[in-house]
Structure 1
Amino acid sequence: MAPPRGAARGTGVVRGGGRGGGPARGGGPAGFKVGLPDAGSHITTIGVKRPAFGSSGRSLSVFTNHFEVSIPEENIHHYDTVISPSEKTLPARLNMEIIKRLQTEVAPQVFTPRAVYDGRKNLFAARELPFGPSGTQEFSFPLTDSPGDAGEGGRGPKLYKVKLTHVATINPEVLRRFLQGKQSHDNTVLTAITALNVVIRMEPSLKYPFNVRSFFTNREQKDLGGGIVLWRGYFQSARPAIGRMLINVDISTGAMYKPGKVIDVSLEFIGRPRDKPNVLAPRYGFPDRERIKLQRFLSGVRVDVQIPGQAQTGRRPARVVKKLTTAGASQLKFTMRDGVTLSVAEYFERMHNYKLQFPDVVCLEVGSGAIIPMECCTIPEGQIMRKQVPSEKTKDVLDFATKRPQDRLNSIRNGLGVLSYGQSEYVRHFGMHMSQNEPQSLQARVLDPPTLQYGTGSRQPTIKPRDGAWNMIDKRFYRPAQIKRWIVVIYEREARFRQEIAKEMVKSFLDAFAAVGIQVHEKDPIVAYRQSNARIGDQLKQIGGDCYRKNNNTGGPDLIVVVLPEASTDMYQAIKHFGDCTQGVATQCLKSSKCSRAKPQYFANVCLKINVKLGGINTVPDARSVPVLTDPHNPTIVMGADVIHPAPGATGRPSFTALVGNVDSDTAKYVADCRVQTSRQEMIDDLEDMADGILRMYQQYRTLAEKRSIPKPKRIIFYRDGVSEGQFQHVLDVELPQLKRACAKQGIDAKITMIVVGKRHHVRFFPKNSTEGDRSGNCPAGTVVDRDITHPTEFDFYLQSHSGLLGTSRPAHYNVLYDENNFTPDSLQALSFALCHVYARSTRSVSIPAPVYYADIVCGRAKNHYDPGSEQMDLTDSGTQLDSREASHQLEVFRAGFKPLHTNIRKLMYFS
Structure 2
Amino acid sequence: MSRRGGGGGGRRSDSRRDQTSQAPGPSLNRGGGVGRGGGGGRGGGGGRGRGYGAAAAGGSGPASEPHSPAAFPPLASPSPSASTSAASLSQKFDQSLTLQSPAPVRRQPSDPVRPQPQPQPPPPVQAQPTPPVPTQPQASSSSSSQPQASSSSQATGVEVPPSTSKAITFPRRPGYGTVGRKCTVRANHFQVQVDDREFCHYDVTITPEVISKTLNREIIKQLVDSYKVSHLGKRTPAYDGSKSLYTAGPLPFTSKEFVVKLVKTDDEAGPRRDREFKVAIKLASKGDLYQLRQFLSGRQLNAPQETIQILDVVLRASPSNNYTVVGRSFFSTQLGTKGELADGLEYWRGYYQSLRPTQMGLSLNIDVSARSFYESILVTDFVGKHLRLRDVSRPLSDQDRIKVKKALKGVKVQLIHREFAKRYKIAGVSSQPTSQLMFTLDDKATRVSVVQYFRQKYNIVLKYPSWPSLQAGSDSKPIYLPMEVCKIVEGQRYTRKLNDRQVTALLRATCQRPRDREGNIQEMVRKNNFSTDKVVRDEFGIRIKEELTLVDARVLPPPMLKYHDSGREAKVDPQVGQWNMINKKMVNGGTVQFWTCLNFSFRVQQDLPSGFCRELVNMCASKGMVFNPNPLLPIQSVHPNQIEKALVDVYKQSMAKLASMGQNGKQLQLLIIILPDVTGSYGKIKRICETELGIVSQCCQPSQASKLNKQYFENVALKINVKVGGRNTVLFDAIQRRIPLVSDRPTIIFGADVTHPQPGEDSSPSIAAVVASMDWPEVTKYRGLVSAQHHREEIIQDLYKKTADPHKGVIHGGMIRELLIAFRRSTGHKPSRIIFYR
TM-score of the two chains, using structure 2 as the length reference: 0.71
Q: 1:438 to 1:330 in 2, by over 3 A?
A: same
Does residue 418 (structure 1) correspond to residue 527 (structure 2)? The answer is yes
> Could you say what secondary structure the match of 2:299 adopts?
coil
Q: 2:370 aligns with which of 245, 249, 253?
A: 253
Output the amino acid matched with 2:614: K
Q: 2:203 aligns with which of 80, 97, 121?
A: 80
- Contact kept, 8 Å, 1:67 with 1:438, in 2: the verdict is yes
Q: 1:351 to 1:237 in 2, by over 3 A?
A: farther
Q: 1:595 to 1:80 in 2, by over 3 A?
A: same
Does residue 291 (structure 1) correspond to residue 409 (structure 2)? The answer is no
What is the alpha-carbon distance in structure 2 between the residues aligned to residue 332 and residue 56 of structure 1?
75
Deviation at 1:409, TM superposition (A): 0.6
Does residue 364 (structure 1) correspond to residue 481 (structure 2)? The answer is no
Deviation at 1:230, TM superposition (A): 1.9
Output the amino acid matched with 1:229: E
What is the alpha-carbon distance in structure 2 between the residues aligned to residue 404 and residue 522 of structure 1?
44
Aligned to 2:563: 454
Q: 1:529 to 1:148 in 2, by over 3 A?
A: closer
What is the alpha-carbon distance in structure 1 between the residues aligned to residue 739 and residue 183 of structure 2?
25
Aligned to 1:602: 712
- Contact kept, 8 Å, 1:345 with 1:355, in 2: the verdict is no
Does residue 214 (structure 1) correspond to residue 322 (structure 2)? The answer is no
Output the amino acid matched with 1:461: A
Q: 1:650 to 1:149 in 2, by over 3 A?
A: closer
Deviation at 1:683, TM superposition (A): 1.9
Q: 2:766 aligns with which of 651, 655, 658?
A: 655
Residue-by-residue CA offset, 1:530-585 (whole Å, 9 max, x unaligned):
43527234421354257548967686654333333334755774576456654x55
Identity level (%):
28
Q: 1:109 to 1:352 in 2, by over 3 A?
A: farther
- Contact kept, 8 Å, 1:345 with 1:359, in 2: the verdict is no
Residue-by-residue CA offset, 1:326-356 (whole Å, 9 max, x unaligned):
3355533344675414236389669966656
| Larger RCO of the pair (alpha carbons < 8 Å, separation 6+) | 2
Q: How do 1:331-370 residues align onto structure 2 when only pairs under 5 Å count?
A: 331-335=436-440, 339-343=444-448, 345=450, 357=462, 360=465, 362-366=468-472
Does residue 379 (structure 1) correspond to residue 488 (structure 2)? The answer is yes
What is the alpha-carbon distance in structure 1 between the residues aligned to residue 653 and residue 569 of structure 2?
40
Aligned to 2:294: 177
The alignment yields a C-alpha RMSD, in angstroms, of 3.5
Residue-by-residue CA offset, 1:35-66 (whole Å, 9 max, x unaligned):
xxxxxxx9877754323222222112110111
Q: 1:367 to 1:74 in 2, by over 3 A?
A: farther
What is the alpha-carbon distance in structure 1 between the residues aligned to residue 320 and residue 239 of structure 2?
10
- Contact kept, 8 Å, 1:537 with 1:575, in 2: the verdict is no
Q: 1:165 to 1:572 in 2, by over 3 A?
A: closer
What is the alpha-carbon distance in structure 2 between the residues aligned to residue 346 and residue 106 of structure 1?
50
Does residue 300 (structure 1) correspond to residue 399 (structure 2)? The answer is no
Q: How do 1:760-779 residues align onto structure 2 when only pairs under 5 Å count?
A: none
Does residue 683 (structure 1) correspond to residue 788 (structure 2)? The answer is no
Q: 1:210 to 1:511 in 2, by over 3 A?
A: same
Q: 1:609 to 1:98 in 2, by over 3 A?
A: same
> Could you say what secondary structure the match of 1:434 adopts?
strand
What is the alpha-carbon distance in structure 2 between the residues aligned to residue 317 and residue 115 of structure 1?
33
> Could you say what secondary structure the match of 2:818 adopts?
helix
Aligned to 1:642: 753
Q: 1:443 to 1:43 in 2, by over 3 A?
A: farther
What is the alpha-carbon distance in structure 2 between the residues aligned to residue 546 and residue 399 of structure 1?
46
- Contact kept, 8 Å, 2:531 with 2:544, in 1: the verdict is no
Structure 1: segments with no counterpart, 5+ residues: 5-14, 17-41, 704-710, 721-912
- Structure 1 stretch displaced more, 629-638 or 228-237: 629-638
* Higher relative helix content: 1
Q: 1:579 to 1:353 in 2, by over 3 A?
A: closer
What is the alpha-carbon distance in structure 1 between the residues aligned to residue 297 and residue 167 of structure 2?
14
Name the count of aligned residue pairs.
653
Output the amino acid matched with 2:817: D
- Contact kept, 8 Å, 2:441 with 2:448, in 1: the verdict is no
Q: 1:592 to 1:351 in 2, by over 3 A?
A: closer
Q: 2:428 aligns with which of 323, 327, 344?
A: 323
Aligned to 1:716: 834
- Contact kept, 8 Å, 1:69 with 1:432, in 2: the verdict is no
Deviation at 1:193, TM superposition (A): 1.3
- Contact kept, 8 Å, 2:194 with 2:543, in 1: the verdict is no
Q: 1:550 to 1:564 in 2, by over 3 A?
A: farther
Residue-by-residue CA offset, 1:73-129 (whole Å, 9 max, x unaligned):
11111111122212xx42111111111111124555334231111111111112322
What is the alpha-carbon distance in structure 1 between the residues aligned to residue 426 and residue 687 of structure 2?
40
> Could you say what secondary structure the match of 2:722 adopts?
helix
Q: 1:231 aligns with which of 331, 335, 348?
A: 348
Q: 1:586 to 1:536 in 2, by over 3 A?
A: same
Aligned to 1:439: 548
> Could you say what secondary structure the match of 2:362 adopts?
strand
- Structure 1 stretch displaced more, 210-219 or 91-100: 210-219
Output the amino acid matched with 2:772: G
What is the alpha-carbon distance in structure 1 between the residues aligned to residue 459 and residue 584 of structure 2?
78
- Contact kept, 8 Å, 1:62 with 1:441, in 2: the verdict is yes
- Contact kept, 8 Å, 2:269 with 2:424, in 1: the verdict is no
Aligned to 2:143: none
Q: How do 1:254-653 residues align onto structure 2 when only pairs under 5 Å count?
A: 254-272=371-389, 279=393, 285-305=395-415, 307-308=417-418, 310=419, 312=420, 318-328=423-433, 331-335=436-440, 339-343=444-448, 345=450, 357=462, 360=465, 362-366=468-472, 371-374=479-482, 375-492=484-601, 496-499=604-607, 501-523=608-630, 526-532=633-639, 533=642, 535-544=645-654, 548=658, 557-567=668-678, 570=681, 573-574=684-685, 577-578=688-689, 582=693, 585-623=695-733, 627-628=738-739, 633-653=744-764
Aligned to 2:125: none
Aligned to 2:181: 58
> Could you say what secondary structure the match of 2:315 adopts?
helix
> Could you say what secondary structure the match of 2:197 adopts?
coil
TM-score of the two chains, using structure 1 as the length reference: 0.65
Output the amino acid matched with 2:257: E
> Could you say what secondary structure the match of 2:353 adopts?
strand
Does residue 201 (structure 1) correspond to residue 316 (structure 2)? The answer is yes
Q: How do 1:123-142 residues align onto structure 2 when only pairs under 5 Å count?
A: 123-131=245-253, 135-142=254-261
Q: 1:365 to 1:620 in 2, by over 3 A?
A: same
Aligned to 1:118: 240
Q: 1:72 to 1:350 in 2, by over 3 A?
A: farther
- Contact kept, 8 Å, 2:499 with 2:680, in 1: the verdict is no
What is the alpha-carbon distance in structure 1 between the residues aligned to residue 570 and residue 188 of structure 2?
41
Structure 2: segments with no counterpart, 5+ residues: 1-34, 38-134, 137-164, 801-813
Residue-by-residue CA offset, 1:670-704 (whole Å, 9 max, x unaligned):
2222222223222222223222122112111223x
Q: 1:198 to 1:496 in 2, by over 3 A?
A: same
- Contact kept, 8 Å, 1:483 with 1:558, in 2: the verdict is yes
- Contact kept, 8 Å, 1:76 with 1:171, in 2: the verdict is yes
Deviation at 1:364, TM superposition (A): 3.3
- Contact kept, 8 Å, 2:671 with 2:695, in 1: the verdict is yes
Does residue 104 (structure 1) correspond to residue 239 (structure 2)? The answer is no
Q: How do 1:731-750 residues align onto structure 2 when only pairs under 5 Å count?
A: none
Output the amino acid matched with 1:417: R
Aligned to 2:190: 67
What is the alpha-carbon distance in structure 2 between the residues aligned to residue 717 and residue 79 of structure 1?
43
Q: 1:464 to 1:402 in 2, by over 3 A?
A: same
Output the amino acid matched with 1:247: L
